[in-house]
């Protein structure tokens, strides 16, 4: 059922590659032929604009890995739970299909605000699980709230099955993620927590501290003004990046899904900015381009097989 939903989007939209002019100072967009991205799925839009500047397979649902955690953060904040409450770090009761290693000690405690911060900034998977477990009604109620929030935002090609993104069944289209990023941007806590460079969490019972950094190198760069950020990675999802950053003085939403290597989505972000500023995005490295072409070919073949 989960796999069928994903492939249904590919059958109907696998050839989609469009550029359209939207409202705002960044439009009209330059010639789409001058922008080549390594990411298989992409969407670029001025913040709070209904018209995208660029789309690439933007209506095809795909695994989104830890980009999931933006929705996790919104559900936590929507619950109104006290941010200074101490929560116990517990062993996962589920069985994630991917490595869920954490440096946090089982049985110790951390404040909800710290767990939310390292969920967003450092993509700490156990932190997001603990936050969900402490939601009224527990984990199942939290996941239901994630899907209800997605529905309310008009994210029609999205489904969540866990709060961390460790399951490849967490899927969304790039166009849906533009809606999610815009919604998350409305939360000052998410903007601030997701773009911090470093943070030290102080635990108790036993007392110890751990240092965390941001998984998006662009937040450290003087060349970028990033207002919201989230990275993600699974084998099935490739390297993913969503963010809001100033380009030409205007906030721009970038959604980049499924690329090769940790630096490839960062390179795509730079190509998007260069394309908007100069009209030409520049070249993609050969290995990243080979990956993109092979992923598209595999998705096309799988979608075709499912349609027969």
Per-domain boundaries in the chain:
2-306
CA distance 266 to 28: 24
Q: Which of 39, 122, 123, 164 is catalytic?
A: 123
**Would residue 69 show up in a list of annotated catalytic residues for this protein?**
yes
- Estimate the crossing angle of helix 138-152 against helix 125-133, to 10 degrees: 100
pTM beyond 0.75, yes or no: yes
**Would residue 49 show up in a list of annotated catalytic residues for this protein?**
no
**pLDDT per residue over 248-259, tens digit each?**
889 999 999 999
**Residue 121 φ/ψ, nearest 5 degrees:** -80, -40
Contact yes or no for 11/303 (Cβ under 8 A): yes
Homologous superfamily (CATH) of 2-306 is: DD-peptidase/beta-lactamase superfamily (3.40.710.10)
**pLDDT per residue over 94-149, tens digit each?**
888 777 789 999 999 999 999 999 999 999 999 999 999 999 999 999 999 999 99
**Would residue 66 show up in a list of annotated catalytic residues for this protein?**
yes
Q: Which of 66, 175, 194, 229 is catalytic?
A: 66
- Angstrom CA distances, 307 to 35, 71, 172, 303, stand at 31, 31, 20, 6
**pLDDT per residue over 62-109, tens digit each?**
999 999 999 999 999 999 999 999 999 999 988 887 777 899 999 999
């Amino acid at each position: 059922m989960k796999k069928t939903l994903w492939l249904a989007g590919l059958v109907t939209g696998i050839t989609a590659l469009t550029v359209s002019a939207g409202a705002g100072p960044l439009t009209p967009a330059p010639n789409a032929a001058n922008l080549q991205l390594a990411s298989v799925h992409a969407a670029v839009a001025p913040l709070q604009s209904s018209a995208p500047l660029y789309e690439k397979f933007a209506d095809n649902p795909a695994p989104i890995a830890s980009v999931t955690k933006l929705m996790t953060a919104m559900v936590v904040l929507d619950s109104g739970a006290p941010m200074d409450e101490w929560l116990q770090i517990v062993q996962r009761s589920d069985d994630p299909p991917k490595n869920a290693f954490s440096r946090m000690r089982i049985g110790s405690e951390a404040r909800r605000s710290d767990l939310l911060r390292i969920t967003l900034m450092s993509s700490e998977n156990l932190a997001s699980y603990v936050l969900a477990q402490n939601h009224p009604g527990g984990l199942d109620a939290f996941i239901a709230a994630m899907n209800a929030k997605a529905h309310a935002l008009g994210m029609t090609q999205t489904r969540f099955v866990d709060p961390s993104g460790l399951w490849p069944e967490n899927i969304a289209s790039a166009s849906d993620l533009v809606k999610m990023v815009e919604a998350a941007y409305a939360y000052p806590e998410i903007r601030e927590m997701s773009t911090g460079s470093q943070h030290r969490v102080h635990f108790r019972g036993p007392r110890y501290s751990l240092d965390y950094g941001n998984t998006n190198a662009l937040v450290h760069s003087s060349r970028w003004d990033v207002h919201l950020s989230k990275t993600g990675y699974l084998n099935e999802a490739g390297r993913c990046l969503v963010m809001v950053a100033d380009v030409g003085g205007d906030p721009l939403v970038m959604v980049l899904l499924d690329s090769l290597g940790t630096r490839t989505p960062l390179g795509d972000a730079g190509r998007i900015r260069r394309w908007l500023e100069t009209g030409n995005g520049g070249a993609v490295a050969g290995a990243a381009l080979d990956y993109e072409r092979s992923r598209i070919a595999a998705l096309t073949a799988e979608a075709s097989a499912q349609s027969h």
